[in-house]
Chain A
Amino acid sequence: MSTPFEKPQIISHIQKSLNYTIFDCKWIPCSAKLVCLGNRARGTGVLQIYEVQGGELKLNREIEKAKPFKCGTFGATSLQQRHLATGDFDGNLHIWDLEAATEPLYSVKAHKEIVNSLDGVGGLGVGDGAPEVVTGSRDGTVKVWDPRQKDTPVANMEPGAGEAKRDCWTVAFGHAFNQQDRCVCAGYDNGDIKLFDLRNMAVRWETNIKNGVCCVEFDRKDIDMNKLVATSLEGTFHVFDMRTQHPTKGFASVLEKGHKSTIWQVRHLPQNRDVFMTAGGAGNLHLWKYDYPAQRSGEDSEGGAVGVAGTVNLLQNVTLSTQPIASLDWSPDKQGLCVCSAFDQSVRVLIVTKLNRV
């Protein structure tokens, strides 16, 4: 049995039980530390900073706030500052200096209801252009914020009067390869995926994948948009090739059914955009690799360009927990290191081996 060791292995390195419900965990860039965001039983929000130290997670700092945290990102801050943007159950967007977190650096009542998801771009050397945070909420709106502008968003994507409000479950930035171009992708509970072009301030593309969209992510935020993965409530996910947009067919995609339950998260490996991991509702993780087709665009019957999707190959799958894995984050600095949190109130640091050989 030599073959199993040729594949990447997912190794559970550290497991830490917590005394609160954890919703999100993120590596702090340029460090061996991570933040955990969650909800205490008494209804307050908690933010913990752990440091990986010799096979242990050592608690560095704990901050408690009035409202439970739902999500966080470092995407819109510089590598020197590393300020954390968070969204909470009350619809607030805060930006914290983790060294002095008594008062937020930036605070706005962003939404009427819970902020389900947020994403940042323009910081960490990722993407040219202004630092911006996008938030998606149960109130059906998606808003883009610039930390330099108080109180009002720079863009607001909301249903018009009379249109049904759908719960926005996930948002992601992409296409930020120069100072002007930038896109936001949002996924809704009815299976809608919408791509907003922030340069033209218009919806560039929309589709429906029939099941609620749990997570969307571009393979990289700071390149000309290349691929988009969207995961669904029913255990399938789509990989869209974002290079060629057909006027009627839109983007080509490949559908893959990996999990038997909801896919909560998808995260691309920061060191290789064609490798990504999905986290499922049954506590399992699947590691995938996307293979490009020989030609990425072909011709339709009228001679117009139409995209061609590639194939997705499973590299490894493991079961970690009986509860859903709600968040997943690759270390931007150390290839193969990732952290995930599950609803069994624990956070796990994983090592994925042999990623450089896939």
Chain B
Amino acid sequence: MSVSEVSSLLNRDNTFSATLDHNGKVPVEHLEYGYIEKCKDVKHLEKILRVLRSGEEGVYPHLNQFCEDRLKSLDPTSRALRKEQPVATAASLPTEEWSQICEDLQRWQEESKDLEASMLKPSIFHGIGNENVPPVRGTDISVPLGQNPASKAKNKPPKRALPLDYKDWDKYDVDKECEMIDGGESKKDPAAVINSGHVKIRTRVDVTTLTEKEKLLMASREKDKGNEAFRAKGYEEAVAYYTRSLSIVPTVAVFNNRAQAEIKLQRWHRALQDCQRVLELEPLNLKALLRRATVFQHQGSLPLAAEDLRAVLRVEPHNTAAAKHLTEVDKKIREGQPELPIKGRKILIQDIEEDEEEAEEHARPVDPRQPVGGVDSVVSPVERGDMGNAQKKPYGGGRGDGASPHSDASNGSHGHHRRGRGGSWDKHKAAAHESPGPGKAANGTGKRGSTVSEPGAAKGGRPAGVDLDAPCGALPPPLARLKNEGNLLFKNGQFSDALGKYSQAIAGFTESGIDSPEDLCILYSNRAACYLKDGNSQECIQDCSKALELHPFSLKPLLRRATAYDSMERYRQAYADYKTVLQVDNSVQAAHDSVNRITRLLIEQDGPEWREKLPDIPLVPMSAQQHRREEAPTPEVLQARAEKAAQDTARRSELRFTALKQEGNEFVKKGQFQDALGKYTECLKLKPEECTVYTNRALCYLKVEKFAEAKQDCDAALGLEPTNKKAFYRRALANKGLKDYPASSSDLQEVLQQDPGVQEAEKELEEVTALLRQSLASGASPRKKVPITEVDGDQDRSTADSAPRPQEGGAINMQPADAYEFGQSLNAARSRGDAAACADLLSSVDPERLPRLLSNQLDGHVMGFVLEALDEHLLARDPGRVYRLLQSLHIAERFAVVLMLLETAERRRVTQLFEHLSAAQSDDFTKDDVQNLANKYII
């Protein structure tokens, strides 16, 4: 009987009764490709593999491999597949990965050295306050090894010496105690013990006796425990551990995680509180915003949820999770049932972060259709810029306006709170996100032209809400209206209606015979988007092709056509289009993803020669390419870029502008002024009317000692903004470099006239005056290298700088009469970083009055500053006063809150202060007093 006959016989029976012969061994006939391929019995395959591996029936490496592959396909986790492997060494990893590991390890070694050194220095509290440790359990209590419930009673440990704490009574479970007492009857069949100890986990950890480092370690450990519990779906437990972590050191990440756990438990109110806390500490924390949106949605406050989601999309326009969530919320709003909370759980954000660094990973666009199809998912660049600023601005303004972190978190107060965070929020809201005006509807490459041609109109139309008559490029008003209506309908998801509007607009366009290919291109492109959404890929491709005829290498039509081809499974064409898109703009993630996916499909379909079957991929001319910063800008390229910039969308150029500017600023910070110069120059090509860039470039010129150019830039800046302090100052420096001392002096005087507090200017003026005198005396002075003391990479704040600052430079009022004056004096001292002045101020006030003077102005920064002043200046002079001040400080309003939110450095300051204080000698207090006080400060 041949081998094949056996196997066919077996297959006909479709049983494996004959899998083993009478010796319990695998029949040799089974060691065959055909049989193995058809065998579905994992156990039997494992046996076959064992025989093959043993070599009893001969060595067949290929058959062996084949059998392994077959087994793997049936059961990838089969134990028979486990192979002993030698341990990997450095050589078995890619070099870069290994060097990264080594570097990481090296860094850790150094860090742990520091850590160890700091550990060796015990805190002053070491060895005291051990009352938290429970007493010794007992002496030599014998526990029998047998599990005999009756013996439990006999061997009860002696009663604990300490009476129950009040906290313990809170956790006293009456039912459980009763059960225990009644336990006698039900001893026969006790219920299962379910360990759900989270109710018994103490939510506060006493860390008074620990050093800062230990606290951090403990806090992160508790956080890890929380994360683990979260992953195991023990949300209650996770909340308990997060709470513990927060009671040691509060951090944003843990608040955020706790919010997520509370969401899982559907405790919306608490989740909301946690989100609020995060947002107070970090106003633009995306995860907190997303989570708050989820909470709002479940509480029925749909508009607030939508607002949060929009805030997320402003920062990260391609956050698909947020976009999807937003459409859902918008739909609910439109359906007119915003009051009804949603039944059931729809939790959007499933992942939990280990660390905040990995935060944004989950938010990358995956669905190529998402960014392609939407007409309006882009954020206009002006808002982006603002957002950057808002992020940087401390939330100082909004702190004291009644929306304190502990105010009752009703919906009304959220709105209020957010409004209080500085005007920028309102601005965004009003600016674009509720208006599908022209700026919003910008899409396709042609749009820039229209916005540029009528910038005033574009800006003016924006805040007016839904403005259907907003002018649109070169379109006559009726057509513009049609287009805007189309955009609005599209945005609302009424694609077929939008389609009609666009079609009308196109018809009207051809009739009126206007010569504006860009606008027609946009109309076609938008109609293509509608077709795409309706699933009419054929029409979509036609429209895209028309749009591309009018305006070749326009991004959106290309992407849409690619998507349409993709959905029709015409992968080759789709591939070509995606590739073209990538040539135009290499940063389109969706295109990258799709190209990868299609490449795989095509290889599967066409084999290794798949490339030969592709249609021609057109070569995109330089002028249409974006995002190519690698090569040094040759004049032609710059020329091309400038041209392109003029035609490109406002969004793109703005984005590029900010990016370039930031890169420039980065270079300045690093000291690479030559590189920064290049970036700023490119910036100015994009936007020649930007004052700050001129001043920044002037700074770079100064640094590389090109004074004439610097002066030119300052002049340009002053032409744009005649009162720009920085420009004056830098022109002064440039003039000084050019040895034009009189001009320099007059510029400096101008600066000082505007703002008498600029000490550098004063210094410079002195120097320049001296030089001026010298040059007048000697006729010519030797050229001196100009020391430039100021490096200001962050020009974005220049507006804030030029705002008038009261008190700055003026004398500080040392005898404040009321809380207002005290606050003024304190702020003045703080803004100058003058701790000595603060110490003077504090020594002049009556300690008893301190809480009243501080009123509700106390925050982390003020506290840190006050403590610094006490520690560094006042303590040496008058420890008694320091003690009394500290004693009254802790009864000030908001003290507890501020204390909880103190940063690490400030906490360290507190510990340090008390260490110093306890070391100081005074009649006013004893060491114990200090200790008691310290306990109130160190939580």
What is A's interface to B at a CB cutoff of 8 Å?
Answer: 5, 9-13, 30-32, 52-55, 78-80, 82, 122, 125-126, 128-132, 144, 146, 148-149, 152-160, 163, 175, 177-181, 194, 196, 198, 200-206, 220, 222-226, 242-247, 257, 271-274, 284-285, 292, 296-297, 304-306, 313-314, 317-320, 333-334, 337, 350-351, 353, 356
Contact = CB atoms under 8 A, between A and B. Distances in A.
A11 B98 CA distance: 10
Interface string B195-219: 1111011100100001101100110
A196 B141 contact: no
B105 A203 contact: no
A274 B224 CA distance: 12
B192 A203 contact: no
Contacts of B197: 175, 177-178, 181, 223-224
B116 A31 contact: yes
A274 B228 contact: yes
Contacts of B632: none
Interface string B89-126: 11011100100011001101100110110011010001
B194 interface: yes
Contacts of B116: 30-31
Given A273-B228, A313-B77, A351-B101, A158 B142 contact: yes
A93 to B, nearest CB: 14
A181 B195 CA distance: 11
B142 A156 contact: yes
Contacts of B518: none
Given A154-B136, A156-B140, A200 B200 contact: no
24 contacts: A10-B87, A122-B133, A128-B202, A157-B143, A157-B145, A158-B143, A160-B144, A181-B200, A194-B147, A200-B156, A203-B146, A220-B225, A220-B228, A224-B195, A245-B195, A285-B87, A292-B232, A296-B232, A317-B82, A318-B87, A333-B108, A333-B112, A334-B112, A356-B354
B21 interface: no
B163 interface: no
Given A224-B237, A244-B193, A313-B77, 9 more contacts: A31-B112, A32-B112, A155-B137, A163-B146, A202-B151, A224-B197, A226-B195, A244-B192, A247-B191
Contacts of A126: 221
A177 to B, nearest CB: 5
Interface string B848-884: 0000000000000000000000000000000000000
Nearest to B84: A319
Contact of A201 (B135, B143, B214): B143
Contact of A125 (B109, B218, B241): B218
A317 B88 CA distance: 10
A298 to B, nearest CB: 11
Contacts of A297: 194
A206 B145 CA distance: 9
Given A130-B137, A198-B137, A305 B194 contact: yes
B927 interface: no
B217 A314 contact: no
Contact of B192 (A247, A274, A356): A247
Size category of the binding interface on chain B: 35 or more
A141 to B, nearest CB: 9
B190 interface: yes
Contacts of A284: 84
A12 B109 contact: no
A226 B92 CA distance: 37
Contacts of B137: 130, 132, 144, 146, 154-155, 198
Contacts of A226: 195, 232
Contacts of A175: 195, 197
B152 interface: yes
B143 A11 contact: no
Nearest to A194: B145
A202 B152 contact: yes
B109 to A, nearest CB: 5
* 5 pairs of A and B residues whose beta carbons are closest in the complex: A224-B197, A154-B137, A245-B193, A305-B192, A125-B218
A11 B88 contact: yes
B105 A225 contact: no
B195 A314 contact: no
B86 A318 contact: yes
A339 to B, nearest CB: 13
B139 interface: yes
A160 B122 CA distance: 46
A333 B104 CA distance: 13
B134 A224 contact: no
Contacts of A159: 145
Nearest to B101: A351
Contacts of A131: 133
A10 B109 contact: no
A163 B145 contact: yes
Contact of A202 (B85, B138, B155): B155
A322 to B, nearest CB: 12
B229 interface: yes
Nearest to B355: A356
B182 to A, nearest CB: 16
B23 to A, nearest CB: 24
Contacts of A350: 87
B157 interface: yes
B139 A257 contact: no
A306 B5 CA distance: 51
A158 B93 contact: no
A180 B165 CA distance: 13
Contacts of B126: 80
Contacts of B393: none
Contacts of B142: 155-158
B136 A130 contact: yes
A130 B133 contact: yes
Given A55-B102, A132-B137, A156-B140, A125 B217 contact: yes
B79 interface: yes
B84 A317 contact: yes
Contacts of A149: 136, 139
A152 B133 contact: no
A318 B119 contact: no
A317 B85 contact: yes
B233 interface: yes
Contacts of B416: none
A214 to B, nearest CB: 19
A160 B145 contact: yes
A310 B451 CA distance: 61
Nearest to B218: A125
A230 B94 CA distance: 36
B189 interface: yes
A78 B133 CA distance: 12
Interface in B232-270: 232-233, 237, 241
B88 A9 contact: yes
A178 B88 CA distance: 41
Q: Which of A12, A52, A180, A223 has the most CB of B within 10 A?
A: A223
A53 B113 CA distance: 11
Nearest to A165: B145
Contacts of B82: 314, 317
Given A79-B119, A178-B200, A156 B87 contact: no
Contacts of B237: 223-224
B90 A11 contact: yes
A154 B194 contact: no
B140 A179 contact: no
B597 interface: no
A157 to B, nearest CB: 4
Contacts of B151: 202
Nearest to A245: B193
B93 A11 contact: yes
Contacts of A177: 197, 200-201
B231 interface: yes
B93 A9 contact: yes
A30 B212 CA distance: 14
A243 B202 contact: no
A203 B138 contact: no
A286 B596 CA distance: 35
